[in-house]
């Protein structure tokens, strides 16, 4: 009997194993993905106590946290747009994965990799709350709480040795807390140049992967491994402070040129100038300015009755683009009555200068720059001697590596000079008066700001009939040494637009010590106005050395 049972066992094993392999082979090759069904929705009042307790972690953040706002309107917008977003996102996924799949064609006996079905389903993600963060920078920061329990139907087909293998992604759930920053804000639609996205926390991602009708994510240990790997990879790319930057506007169209250096100009002398006065002489002086600047031109002193004047006067001009800007030198004969006579002019492109090297130019004066078409311009008008030195600013600001192919991560680095360099030498003090809040006058509210520093006075434009003016005006002061232990004084005033004996009104003031600006290179803060009940002024100050 024992021999007989052993014999039957051997025969059963010999028949069962090939039969099982055959059945498994056909299931593996010819199995088809299941149809994704719509989830069943039940109203909350039909749930029992235990089910309600399970739902407590899913209560929207706008219910639990007062910092988050309810954004039903945004969820409705996403719901209406979801069919179109679905097609757009899926098309983007196909275009991104095609070159990746193409790299594996021909390897490991793979004949083709393609999507048999690609849809994000009918259930859009929901925003359970939105927090808008206030910063002093020129940006808008939003932190939505995004949850997506979707019903996507994503089927990938792998053709291997003439066999067709299908993998299906089902039951996808994503919980994420991104930070979305629109920056910088610019006066060009859509009013921001780029979207910067980062994750404040590692995202929670859950999904199923079916092969042969079974979920391989149910294999012990595999689910935890995949979860850990996904979180690690995503966090390494986009977990704050790592960011994903998506440019919206061309940088060239919205770039605001900032000062990059100082041009030191020494007007030395002029020789053999034209005679414009009745007595056979001239009273020359020189005007100089850089192209691309709206600042008033600088002037030398007037040398009375002198055709070979000696000035030896020094000036400093702010440079924003040394590759395109040109120095204009214009020599005039001063007249007490009427317009001043033009003696000649010359141009010096800044791109011809070597940084930190002083170059002397002996330039023949011209009537104008169009010498080819005007033969009269060949008339001798004398010459002018100038010394020019271009001193670029040190790289003290944050350096950002631009994204690749429209998308990318960016990291910041800070290159600071030594203390001996920081507290010595010339530099540029830039004062940006952003705006004010809750400034209120007794008789009128037409506020403007007045900046006073080292005897110089700068004024912003006046904003009529408002308590919260936005000026966004920048003023610059070139200094020979860092402004250590010095204060900059800002008054907020109001001026009546009509005729009145008491047309001006004082709304408050602030004194800002510049020591922190010298140490840190920049401050960007809001200050409470003195002698104002609730007034606040927003000021950004930079100190840049050469």
Selected residue with higher pLDDT from 23 and 260: 260
User: At 353, is the pLDDT very low, low, confident or very high (cuts 50, 70, 90)?
Assistant: very high
Selected residue with higher pLDDT from 67 and 537: 537
Domains 261-368+379-392 and 427-545 share a fold: yes
Q: What CATH superfamily classification does 427-545 receive?
A: C2 domain (2.60.40.150)
Rounded to whole angstroms, how far apart are CA atoms 96 and 90? 10
Rounded to whole angstroms, how far apart are CA atoms 398 and 377? 48
In residues, how long is the chain? 546
| Most confident among 25-29, 66-70, 412-416 (mean pLDDT) | 66-70
Q: Which tokens in the block code for residue 39?
A: 């989830």
Selected residue with higher pLDDT from 1 and 214: 214
User: At 449, is the pLDDT very low, low, confident or very high (cuts 50, 70, 90)?
Assistant: very high
Query: Could you tell me if 421 and 366 are in contact, meaning their C-beta atoms sit under 8 angstroms apart?
Result: no
pLDDT at position 415: 44
Nearest one of 333, 331, 371, 329 to 346, comparing CA atoms: 329
234 burial level (CB within 10 Å; 0-12, 13-18, 19+): middle
pLDDT at position 96: 83
Residue with the two structure tokens 């400034």: 439
pLDDT at position 404: 41
Query: Could you tell me if 307 and 281 are in contact, meaning their C-beta atoms sit under 8 angstroms apart?
Result: yes
pLDDT digits (tens, 9 = 90+) for 318-334: 998 899 999 999 999 99
Residues above pLDDT 70, as percent of the chain: 80
pLDDT at position 393: 86
Residue with the two structure tokens 């402070």: 241
Once rounded to an integer, what is the mean pLDDT over residues 142-146? 92
Once rounded to an integer, what is the mean pLDDT over residues 361-370? 85
User: E strands along 469-531, which residues?
Assistant: 470-479, 487-495, 504-513, 522-528
Query: Could you tell me if 327 and 355 are in contact, meaning their C-beta atoms sit under 8 angstroms apart?
Result: no
Characterize the bridge pairing of strands 178-185 and 214-215: unpaired
CA 515 to chain centre: 28
**Top CATH class, 261-368+379-392:** mainly beta
Rounded to whole angstroms, how far apart are CA atoms 226 and 238? 18
pLDDT at position 287: 95
Q: How many CB atoms lie within 10 A of CB 396?
A: 19
Q: Which tokens in the block code for residue 308?
A: 């070979």
Once rounded to an integer, what is the mean pLDDT over residues 154-178? 83
Q: How many CB atoms lie within 10 A of CB 124?
A: 19
45 pLDDT higher than 70: no
pLDDT at position 130: 92
332 burial level (CB within 10 Å; 0-12, 13-18, 19+): buried
Rounded to whole angstroms, how far apart are CA atoms 374 and 355? 35
pLDDT at position 18: 63
350 pLDDT higher than 70: yes
pLDDT at position 2: 56
407 pLDDT higher than 80: no
pLDDT at position 413: 37
pLDDT at position 15: 62
Task: Count the helices and strands in the chain (H runs, E runs).
Answer: 8, 29
| Domain ranges across the chain | 58-252, 261-368+379-392, 427-545
Once rounded to an integer, what is the mean pLDDT over residues 113-137? 89
Nearest one of 504, 533, 521 to 436, comparing CA atoms: 533
pLDDT at position 293: 82
pLDDT at position 403: 40
Query: Looking at residue 404, what DSSP letter applies?
Result: B
Selected residue with higher pLDDT from 237 and 22: 237
Quote the Cα angle for 424-429-433, to 5°: 155
pLDDT at position 166: 83
pLDDT digits (tens, 9 = 90+) for 179-213: 999 988 888 888 888 999 998 888 888 887 887 66
pLDDT at position 5: 60
Positive or negative, the CA dihedral 15, 20, 21, 23 is positive
């Amino acid at each position: 009997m024992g021999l007989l049972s052993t014999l039957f066992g051997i025969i059963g094993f010999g028949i069962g194993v090939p039969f099982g392999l055959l059945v498994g082979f056909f299931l593996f090759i010819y199995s088809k993905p299941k149809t994704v069904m719509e989830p069943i929705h039940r109203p909350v009042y039909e749930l029992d106590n235990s089910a309600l307790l399970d739902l407590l972690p899913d209560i929207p953040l706008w219910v639990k946290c007062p910092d988050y706002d309810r954004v039903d309107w945004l969820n409705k917008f996403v719901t209406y747009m979801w069919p179109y977003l679905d097609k757009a996102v899926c098309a983007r996924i196909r275009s991104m994965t095609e070159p990746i799949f193409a790299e594996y064609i021909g390897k490991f006996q793979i004949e083709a990799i393609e999507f048999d079905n690609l849809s994000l389903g009918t259930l859009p993600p929901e925003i359970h709350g939105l927090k808008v963060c206030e910063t002093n920078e020129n940006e808008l920061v939003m932190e939505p709480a995004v949850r997506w329990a979707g019903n996507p139907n994503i089927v990938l087909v792998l053709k291997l040795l003439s066999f067709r293998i299908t993998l299906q992604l089902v039951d996808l759930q994503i919980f994420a807390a991104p930070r979305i920053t629109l920056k910088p804000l610019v006066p060009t639609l859509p009013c921001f140049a780029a979207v910067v996205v980062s994750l404040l926390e590692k995202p929670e991602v859950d999904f199923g992967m079916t092969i042969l009708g079974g979920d391989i994510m149910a294999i012990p240990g595999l689910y935890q491994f995949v979860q850990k790997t996904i979180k690690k990879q995503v966090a390494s790319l986009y977990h704050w402070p790592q960011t994903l930057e998506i440019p919206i506007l061309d940088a060239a169209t919205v770039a605001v040129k900032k000062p990059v250096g100082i041009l030191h100009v020494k007007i030395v002398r002029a020789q053999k100038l034209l005679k414009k006065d009745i007595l056979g002489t001239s009273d020359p002086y020189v005007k100089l300015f850089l192209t691309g600047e709206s600042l008033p031109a600088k002037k030398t002193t007037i040398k009375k009755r002198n055709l070979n004047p000696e000035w030896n006067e020094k000036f400093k001009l702010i440079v924003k683009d040394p590759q395109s800007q040109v120095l204009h030198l214009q020599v005039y004969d001063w007249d007490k009555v009427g317009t001043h006579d033009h003696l000649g002019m010359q141009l010096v492109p800044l791109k011809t200068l070597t940084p930190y090297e002083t170059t002397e130019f002996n330039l023949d004066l011209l009537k104008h720059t169009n010498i080819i078409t005007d033969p009269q311009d060949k008339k001798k008008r004398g010459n002018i001697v100038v010394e020019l030195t271009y001193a670029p600013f040190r790289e003290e600001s944050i350096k950002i590596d631009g994204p690749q192919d429209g998308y990318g991560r960016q990291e910041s680095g800070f290159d600071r000079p030594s203390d001996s360099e920081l507290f010595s030498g010339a530099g540029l003090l830039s004062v940006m008066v952003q705006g004010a809040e809750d400034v209120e006058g007794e008789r009128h509210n037409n506020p403007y700001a007045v900046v006073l520093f080292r005897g110089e006075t700068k004024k912003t434009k006046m904003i009529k009939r408002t308590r919260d003016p936005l000026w966004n005006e920048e003023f610059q002061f070139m200094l020979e040494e860092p402004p250590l232990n010095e204060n900059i004084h800002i008054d907020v005033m109001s001026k009546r637009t009509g005729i009145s004996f008491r047309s001006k009104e004082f709304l408050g003031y602030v004194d800002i010590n510049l020591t922190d600006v010298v140490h840190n290179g920049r401050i960007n803060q809001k200050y409470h106005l003195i002698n104002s009940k609730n007034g606040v002024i927003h000021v950004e100050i930079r100190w840049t050395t050469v």
